[in-house]
Structure 1
């Protein structure tokens, strides 16, 4: 259970963002409108409305930067999967220049790696894990391409290109695994939450002598900020729901192989 909570911690943070924002809004409304100190708080009336924009902009920029990090991680993961698939396809294409027995070994090694990656490793990525079998299959492919059979039978330049593509596949897989380890950074989100709370305090003080306007402004801010933060948080890992980077580009290698049989 602890491992599951640690793996999907971003859902917990999203719930905290939702509940915490609305609780903070309720608390400030209670302090300024219903608490025994409401009259004393109103003595601080007179905060200029433009002041609200200063804190609000800082909060908005912080949330925008965090959202940008999340979208960039998703885009990098997607690009990495396509690079990995492109490297495997390139090895396949270059293998056409090899004698039939050597070509068969290379093609089978590519298919074995793709099959283990899609069927075994991909489900593990959602749990921030990787497959040793996939790593072993990639090592076998690299050893085969660097071995005497391929180097002796490949035309000039083809062998170097095949090794370069295999290196690209290894680098892409390493980055894919690294991105699957993505965790929510509590310190970044704590700073964002602090700025959000200061923004709500600013809203309360600007409208402290206009109760209806204060309630409306606070509700609007909470309704805008809390779901936005939660949406960013639940998409913190590109290999976990709700927006999962799928293995389609690599699986297409296996689909294409099945159609030719």
Structure 2
């Protein structure tokens, strides 16, 4: 249970943000309109409306920065997948310069890695895990490309390019796995929540002697801030729903004709 909660913590934080905002708005409305201290608070009327903008801008900027971090992580994960697939396809294409038996082994190793990545590792990314089998297959591919069988028959320039592409695949996979480990940073969101609550206090005090206007302003703010924060939070991990980075580019390589026969050759 602890593992599951840790894996999907962003959904819990999204629920807290959604409910907490409306509970906070209700609490402030009760304090300023219905509580025993309401009359005392009305003596603080006169807070200038432009003051609301100061706190509101700070809250908006904080939420915007957090949203930018989320979108940036998603874009980096997508780029990593395409770089990984591009590196594999490059090795596949460069293998055309090798003798048929060596080419079959290289292509088989590439296809085996792509297949294991798609079928075994991708489902694990949503649980912030990775596949040992995929790691071992990538090591076998690198070992094959760096070994004497390939280096002896590959043109010098081609061999160097194949090795550099294999290194790119490893780096892209490492970035992909690192981004799949993304967790919500509670301190960042606690700071954002604090600024949001201060913004609601500012709304309440600016309209403290205008009950209906205060209710309307508070509801509008809560309706804008809470869903926005929840949307950002539920997309905190790029390999989990609702916006999943799919393995399409790598899956296309694994599904190409000849993958099975090539994979058999790579197992020799």
- TM exceeds 0.5? yes
Counterpart position of 1:259: 266
Write out per-residue CA displacement over residues 12-66 of structure 1, whole angstroms, 9 at most, x where no aligned residue.
0000000100000000000000000000011111100000000000000000000
Calculate the aligned-residue CA RMSD, in Å: 2.6
Q: Secondary structure at the match of 2:78?
A: helix
Q: CA deviation at 1:156?
A: 2.3
Distance in 2 of aligned mates of 1:232 and 1:256: 41
Q: Quote how far apart the aligned CAs of 1:104 are.
A: 0.2
Deviations 1:216-244 (A, max 9, x none): 00000000000000000000000000000
Distance across 2 between alignment mates of 1:258 and 1:226: 55
Q: Do 2:108 and 2:266's aligned partners in 1 also have CA atoms closer than 8 Å?
A: no
Contact kept, 8 Å, 2:102 with 2:150, in 1: the verdict is: yes
- Report the 3-state secondary structure (helix = DSSP H, G, I; strand = E; otherwise coil) of the residue aligned with 2:244: coil
Cα distance in 2, alignment partners of residues 258 and 161 from structure 1: 22
Cross-structure match for 1:43: 43
Question: Any conservation in 1 of the 2:90–2:162 contact (CA below 8 Å)?
Answer: yes
The alignment's TM-score, normalised by the length of structure 2, stands at: 0.94
Q: For the residues of structure 2 that align with 1:59 and 1:207, how far apart are their CA atoms?
A: 19
Separation in structure 1 between the aligned mates of residue 266 and residue 19 of structure 2, nearest angstrom: 51
Change (3 A) 1:166 1:156: same
Counterparts of 1:181 and 1:247, CA distance in 2: 17
Cα contact 2:118–2:250 (8 A) shared by 1? yes
Q: Displacement, 1:82? A: 0.1
- Which whole-Å deviations, capped at 9, do the CAs of 1:135-175 have from their partners, x for residues lacking one? 00000000000000100000120000000000000000000
Supply the distance in 1 between the matched residues of 2:168 and 2:190 (Cα, whole angstroms). Answer: 38
Distance, in Å, in 2 between the alignment partners of 1:240 and 1:257 is 33
Sort the Cα spacing of 1:17 and 1:144 in 2 relative to 1 into closer, same or farther, 3 A.
Answer: same
Counterpart Cα distance in 2 of 1:187 and 1:248 = 35
CA distance in 2, matches of 1:135, 1:50: 57
What are the ranges of 5 or more consecutive residues in structure 2 without an aligned counterpart? Answer: 254-261
Tell me what 2:24 maps to: 24
Question: Where does residue 206 of structure 2 map in the other structure?
Answer: 206
Deviation digits for residues 118-151 of structure 1 (CA, Å, limit 9, x no counterpart): 0000000000000000000000000000000100
Q: Distance in 2 between matches of 1:259 and 1:220?
A: 61
TM-score (norm 1): 0.97
Q: Is the 8 A contact 2:98 2:154 kept in 1?
A: yes
State the distance in 1 between where 2:196 and 2:265 align: 54
CA distance in 2, matches of 1:244, 1:259: 31
Contact 2:108 2:263 in 1 (8 A): no
The alpha carbon displacement at 1:256 in A equals 13
**Where has structure 1 moved over 2 Å in runs of 4 or more?**
255-261
- Where in structure 1 are there 5+ consecutive unaligned residues? none
| 8 A Cα contact 2:105 2:265, kept in partner | no
What secondary structure, in the 3-state scheme, does the structure 1 residue paired with 2:152 have?
helix
For residues 188 and 8 of structure 1, what CA distance do their matches in structure 2 show? 18
CA contact (8 A) 2:62 2:192 kept: yes
After TM superposition, list the pairs within 5 Å mapping 1:139-218 onto structure 2.
139-218=139-218
Give, in angstroms, the shift of residue 258 of structure 1: 15
What's the CA shift for 1:109? 0.2
- Name the counterpart of 1:223: 223
| SS, match of residue 184 in structure 2 | coil
